[in-house]
A and B are shown apart, each in its own frame.
Chain A
């Protein structure tokens, strides 16, 4: 399994500010994913971060609000821009275990708990 770390583990932010969350993996992976878990809700996929190309966003999520970087095969960032209290969530990154297009489990980071005041 991959070892995944996220920074920060938690943060409290003011409305209108932005926060960048970092995700580091201990091995090279093709695909990285960013999820959000709002209080009492399931995990919702925000976008897939592809190395060397633009991230692909799910319905309801846009690049201006959640810009993503994927500079190499072990690292990605997610920025939550112009935050509002509705953005208070746990944000998780995950990676695929094996090759693209093969069904396989994803491994998750520990998550970043964001509270927006």
Chain B
């Protein structure tokens, strides 16, 4: 059962335009959401996060929107740059039964920025 879903395996966007990456989740216990970016042969790097008490968080060119009622979040990148070409993972978190923070990842969306 995939609790965090990224239904678009790939996305191509013209340089300078807005990139919108989407993520849906099914587990209502999730209350913290993160986006990671991954380049080939490297580990994921943290990009931006949002807690369930907010509906928007912005950091420079990156904005994450959370719609709790729809169990949906999105990452907006504007303007898109060639260096943004990477695989983007959505992740969700809650305190597990062991008291540990636990991340559940989506399958990723490969973003390609076209110069």
Binding site for B on A (CB under 8 A): 1, 4, 31, 33, 40-45, 48, 56, 92, 94, 96, 100-111, 113
Count of chain B residues with Cβ under 8 Å from any Cβ of A? 29
Chain A CB within 8 A of B13 CB: no
Query: Could you say which residues of chain B place their CB within 8 Å of the CB of A48?
Result: 98, 100, 102
Beyond A41-B107, A42-B4, A42-B107, whether A103 also contacts B42 by CB under 8 A is no
Query: Could you say which residues of chain A place their CB within 8 Å of the CB of B102?
Result: 45, 48
Query: Could you say which residues of chain A place their CB within 8 Å of the CB of B107?
Result: 40-42
CB <8 Å contact, B101 and A96: yes
Interface SS of B by simple majority: strand
Beyond A48-B98, A56-B100, whether A92 also contacts B43 by CB under 8 A is yes
> What would be 16 A-B contacts, judged by CB atoms less than 8 Å apart?
A31-B100, A42-B89, A42-B107, A45-B102, A56-B100, A94-B43, A96-B101, A100-B101, A103-B31, A103-B51, A103-B93, A105-B34, A105-B46, A110-B43, A111-B42, A113-B41
CB <8 Å contact, B49 and A110: no
Which listed residue (B95, B99, B105) contacts A43, Cβ 8 A? B105
Chain A CB within 8 A of B57 CB: no
Query: Could you say which residues of chain A place their CB within 8 Å of the CB of B26?
Result: none
Chain A CB within 8 A of B103 CB: yes
Closest CB in chain B relative to A2 CB, distance in Å: 11
Docked Cα-Cα span, A107 to B49, in Å, equals 13
Q: Which residue of A has the minimal Cβ distance to B42?
A: A110
Which listed residue (A45, A109, A110, A111) contacts B103, Cβ 8 A? A45
CB <8 Å contact, B98 and A108: no
